[in-house]
Amino acid sequence: MEEQAILDAVRALALAHPEVAFTVEIEGRTRARWERADRFARAVAVLGGDAADYREGRAMHEGVSVWGVFALPTHTHRDASKVFWLVNGRPIRDRMLLSALRRAYQDVMLSERFPIAVVCIEMDPAAVDVNVHPAKREVRFARPAAVRQAVVQAALEAIGQGGAHAASALADDAVRLLAPRSSPSASAPVAPRSMAPEPLAVEEPQAAWAFARPHPFGRPLGQVQKRYIVTETTDGLLLIDPHAVHERILYERGKALLAQSGSFPAQRLLAPHHWRPDAEAHAWLKAHAKDLARFGILLAEDEDGWRILGVPALLAGQEAPERIVEGWVQAAIAVGDVPSSEQGPRIWRKWFADRACKAATTFGRAMTMEEIEALLAQMAETPNIAQCNHGRPTYVRLGLKELERLFARG
């Protein structure tokens, strides 16, 4: 326990002073060692793992300056122990800041997981009270909302930069799963990768196949078990889950529509669907059915329930009309009682979060090569494409290095 406290203290110093090398020896054993580095490399060394799995984020908000190193959304931890906070160089803990950080990751990360990050906050020392807690680990901010806002902005910047990149830890997991148990490579320590983030881009289109422009997600080879797409990149292959990709594309389209117009266009159903909601939904609809029209949901009450006349065009054909509407009503009830256009994005996020990952139209369906190419092209244009809205990865990249480890050549 004491040992842990020592390590924690030195770790905080190491984060605040990357220009100094640190070695922690406890009873003759080296417990930690950090070489001199720039602050990004030092943060990665303290957090652990591959530099390619981290991005920097910066923000300046009402006199609060934030710089941080944030893990990709598919590189996560089981608890908050890998989130480090420094305020003017001093290590702190703050539950509100932690929940703000988790909120920044909320539609790109598995809900039960935690981010991995180092967050450095600089501000006027007069605006932060460090004498709240005897050990001075807790502080009180004069304007906590401004600090939270700056942290969220910095995290979102990092997530935006890294949103198309799947964590390299996924490839390590894949190799561990696939490699024969007896193979020495399965238990051998993973060699540290190069510190430079690797670009996903294909450098030159191949002669037998070319997109109109260079394609970041590779040359499609085909589909495995009517499900996973395999593509070849310049340095290996990608295994792509088209369902998870489709989920992210749909989610981002909805977000963009709501941001542009605050509404979803409706698609009228050829034949209205009769629907009997539960008592709570029915009572809510009595008051609010008309408010749902701006979200493309057209309803009319009849003797023993409702007729669904239209659903959001975006979702038409994705799921049964009553499932779309039922989910939307439940999401609207959860978000608040008057569904206004400002609440659209929150209702949409909730609707999508509650929707099971497996409710896929592309699940278990053979795709044509044209469909695969169209999907890859959409992937290239969609934000946060490396994970579905639930935080599951959309692809795993196996580079030559991982393939060589699989075949015990590494």
Query: Phi/psi zone of residue 121: left (φ > 0), alpha (ψ -120 to 50 degrees), beta?
Result: beta
Rounded to the nearest whole angstrom, what is the least distance from the CB of residue 387 to Zn ion in the complex?
8
Closer of 153 and 394 to Zn ion (Cβ): 394
Closer of 104 and 388 to Zn ion (Cβ): 388
Closer of 215 and 390 to Zn ion (Cβ): 390
What Cα–Cα distance (Å) separates residue 56 from each residue in 40, 53, 64, 154, 305?
A: 8, 11, 17, 8, 52
Rounded to the nearest whole angstrom, what is the least distance from the CB of residue 91 to Zn ion in the complex?
35
Residue 50 CB neighbours (<10 A): 22
Q: Alpha-carbon distance 16 to 352, whole Å? A: 40
Rounded to the nearest whole angstrom, what is the least distance from the CB of residue 359 to Zn ion in the complex?
9
Rounded to the nearest whole angstrom, what is the least distance from the CB of residue 169 to Zn ion in the complex?
19
Residue whose C-alpha is closest to residue 218's, from 241, 246, 239, 249:
239
Closer of 45 and 164 to Zn ion (Cβ): 164
Closer of 211 and 363 to Zn ion (Cβ): 363
Closer of 357 and 377 to Zn ion (Cβ): 357
Report the interface residues with Zn ion, using CB under 5 A: 247, 357, 388, 390
Residue whose C-alpha is closest to residue 355's, from 324, 386, 378:
324
The answer to whether 219 and 204 are in contact (CB under 8 A) is no
Rounded to the nearest whole angstrom, what is the least distance from the CB of residue 74 to Zn ion in the complex?
12
Residue whose C-alpha is closest to residue 109's, from 68, 84, 74, 78:
74
Q: Packing angle between helix 369-381 and helix 242-261, nearest 10 degrees?
A: 50
Rounded to the nearest whole angstrom, what is the least distance from the CB of residue 389 to Zn ion in the complex?
6
Provide CB contacts within 8 A for 299, sequence distance 6+: 285, 289, 292, 306, 307, 308, 309, 325
